[in-house]
Structures are given as C-alpha cells and as structure tokens.
C-alpha cells in the first residue's frame, strides 16, 4: 500500500557515495520523506513538525557507522526517536490498580470511539486474567440503550453491572456505583461515561463532575486509531479539562498506521496503555512502542 520509508530513504541516499558525517543537505532531503511518511501514517501536523526537528538535530553531523549506509543510518535515528516518543522500552503497562479498593477507572472519549466495548474488554481481562472482582456502570444516560448495552456485555463476559435505575443522572450513578462497590467488596469499578459527537463544554463539565464524585485512580481516554489529525485536539482537550492518566487506542486492527498513538502521547505526555484490535471481547492488547514505531515507519 505504501512505499516504506526505509526504501524511500535508501533511494535518496543511494546517490551519496561518501561516508562520514551526515550533512545538513542530506538530512533536509530525508526530512521531506520523513514528513510525508508521518503524514501518511496520520500523525498530526504539529507533532510531525516537532518530530522532524528532533530528528534533524540528532541526524545532522551524526557519524555514519561503516557497516550501514547513510539511508539506514537516518532510518535508525527516525526509529529510535519514534520509540522514545512512544514510551521507550516500556510496555504500555496496562491498568494501574495500586490504590485502596474499590479502585475507580473512568473511561472517557467521544461517542463511537469504542468506549463501552473497551470498558467491557478491560473488565473481562481484570476478572479472568487478574482475578479481580469488577463492577461496571454505564453513566451514559443520553444515548438510548447505552446502559443496556453494557449490561449485555457484562452478562456475556461474566462481569457484574450496576442495576439500572431510570431517571438518575451520571453523577448519581457514579456515586451509587462507588457505594455498591464498597458494600459488595469489589476491587474495581469501571465507569463508562457518555460521549458526544464532538468535544463540547457540557461534556467537559459532566466529566469533571463525575471525576469529583468518583475520585478515579485511572482516567483512560478511549480514542479511535483512525482519527488521525483530530487526535491531538481530542487528547489535549480531555487532558486539560479532565486530566487523563492514559490512553486506550481502538481499531488498531484497521488499515491505519497508528500515527494517532504518537500524536496523543506527544501532546499529553500520557502513555497509550492498551490497544483494541477487534470487536470481540478478548481483542485487547498491551501497547508495545517498538511495534507501533515499525508500523508508522511502514
């Protein structure tokens, strides 16, 4: 589908016969290709700019090791920089449960991003793999049948859901969920909040209120890996207004190259912790920076 960046850079540098340090001209030409590859991989423009600046600084004057070509050298610098910005050698780390029970995990994001599905996937993993007692609650009182959807997923995956009481608002439900979890001896409470088509003020106010009511230990932004250029605004807004602790990136099974992972981490400094790789309940994986760097590079 795409010509890989490695191939393109090798093409540029093939005409260079000399070895030694990379000159500013060599690097500038490579930078154009790198910029194009990142944009094709759906990395947001401001992040593309800061990324290429960092790579340029590392590359100009860098000594080309004898055993590799200048093209390979630049590809290595780009790869290393990508991995660093995606979290280095660490794995996304999954969910942090290191707090007194019941630990609240608040899931936030836009409508259709995969919030409910991801809530249920995480709850299933915590229940089955980590042997935690998990209670899920849907705080989405806007979308018809949202609460019912979570209940059905809970039944399918052997995870309890908070009984639905018609007429309650998100904050009331959050408080009820915390009380029920305390009384019921649950380890974890997953709060699946309502989304909107776009970020708006009422959504941010609602998220802040729910946060104040439940005092969550984790606030995970669920974002669609295919959102590309919009990912930066999304992550920035949620982080500034609500304060996220991490990101769950859905639809990584799609055709996208995963540039949103780089964009969102670059602007928030918060890690992508998990990725969704399908519609099924078990399609949830840890985030490996190296794998995503390879995917972005193509």
Question: Contact residues for ligand GDP (CB under 6 A)?
Answer: 109, 111-117, 195, 250-251, 253, 276-279, 283
| 1 marked as part of a ligand binding site | no
Instruction: Determine phi and psi for 157, rounding to 5 degrees.
Output: -110, 10
* CB 58, min distance to ligand GDP, A: 34
- In whole angstroms, the minimum distance from the beta carbon of 277 to ligand GDP comes to 6
Can you state the angle between helices 70-85 and 259-268, rounded to 10 degrees? 60
Q: What is the DSSP letter of 287?
A: -
**3-class secondary-structure state, position 34:** helix
Q: Which of 211, 182, 199, 234 is nearest to 105 (CA)?
A: 211
* Least separation in angstroms between CB 195 and ligand GDP: 5
94, two tokens: 């999954």
Residue 127 vs 193, nearer CB to ligand GDP: 193
- 240, 264 Cβ separation under 8 angstroms: no
- Residue among 81 and 193 whose Cβ is closer to ligand GDP: 193
Report, in Å, the least distance between residue 249 CB and ligand GDP: 8
Closest distance between ligand GDP and the C-beta of residue 137, in Å?
14
Q: Is 115 annotated in some ligand binding site?
A: yes
Distance CA 228, CA 187 (A): 35
Q: Does 111 belong to an annotated binding site?
A: yes
Whether residue 228 is annotated as binding a ligand: the answer is no
Please check if 251 is assigned to a binding site.
yes
Residue with the shortest CB distance to ligand GDP: 276
Beta carbons within 10 angstroms of residue 38's beta carbon: 27
Nearer to ligand GDP, 53 or 279 (CB): 279
- Closest CB to ligand GDP among residues 35, 143: 143
Q: Is 101 annotated as a binding residue?
A: no
- Is 195 labelled a binding residue? yes
Our CB check for ligand GDP shows the closer of 46 and 278 to be: 278
In the bound state with ligand GDP, the residue whose beta carbon lies nearer, of 8 and 121, is 121
The rounded distance, in Å, linking the Cα atoms of 263 and 292 is 12
How far apart (Å, rounded) are the C-alpha atoms in residues 292 and 175?
38
Residues 22 and 61: beta-carbon distance below 8 Å: yes
Candidates 262, 280, 285; CA nearest to 83 is 262
User: Is residue 276 marked as binding?
Assistant: no
| Cα–Cα separations (whole angstroms), residue 21 to 10, 140, 209, 284 | 16, 58, 56, 44
CB of 142 to ligand GDP, least distance (A): 11
Binding residues, by number, are 109-116, 192-196, 250-253
Summarize the annotated binding site for GTP as residue ranges: 109-116, 192-196, 250-253
């Amino acid at each position: 589908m795409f010509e890989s960046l490695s191939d393109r850079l090798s093409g540029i540098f093939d005409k260079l016969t000399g070895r030694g340090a990379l000159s500013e001209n060599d690097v500038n030409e490579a930078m154009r290709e790198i910029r194009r590859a990142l944009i094709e991989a759906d990395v947001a423009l401001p992040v593309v700019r800061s990324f290429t600046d960092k790579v340029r600084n590392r590359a100009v004057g860098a000594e080309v090791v004898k055993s590799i070509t200048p093209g390979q050298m630049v590809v290595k610098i780009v790869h290393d920089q990508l991995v660093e910005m995606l979290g280095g050698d660490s794995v996304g780390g999954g969910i942090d449960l290191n707090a007194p029970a019941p630990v609240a995990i608040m899931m936030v994001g836009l409508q259709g991003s995969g919030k409910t599905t991801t809530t249920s996937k995480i709850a299933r993993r915590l229940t089955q793999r980590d042997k935690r007692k998990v209670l899920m609650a849907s705080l989405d009182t806007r979308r018809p049948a949202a609460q019912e959807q979570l209940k059905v997923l809970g039944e399918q995956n052997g995870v309890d859901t908070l009984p639905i009481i018609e007429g309650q608002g998100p904050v009331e439900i959050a408080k009820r969920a915390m009380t029920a979890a305390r009384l019921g001896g649950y380890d974890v409470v997953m709060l699946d909040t309502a989304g909107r088509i776009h970020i708006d003020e009422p959504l941010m106010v609602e998220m802040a209120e729910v946060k104040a009511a439940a005092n969550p230990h984790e606030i995970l932004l669920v974002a669609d890996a295919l959102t590309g250029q919009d990912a930066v605004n999304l992550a920035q807004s949620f982080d500034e207004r609500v304060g996220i602790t991490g990101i769950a990136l859905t639809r990584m099974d799609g055709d996208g190259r995963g540039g949103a992972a780089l964009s969102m981490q670059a602007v928030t400094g918060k890690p992508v912790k998990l990725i969704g790789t399908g519609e099924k309940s078990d399609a949830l994986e840890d985030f490996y920076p190296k794998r995503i760097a390879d995917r972005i590079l193509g």
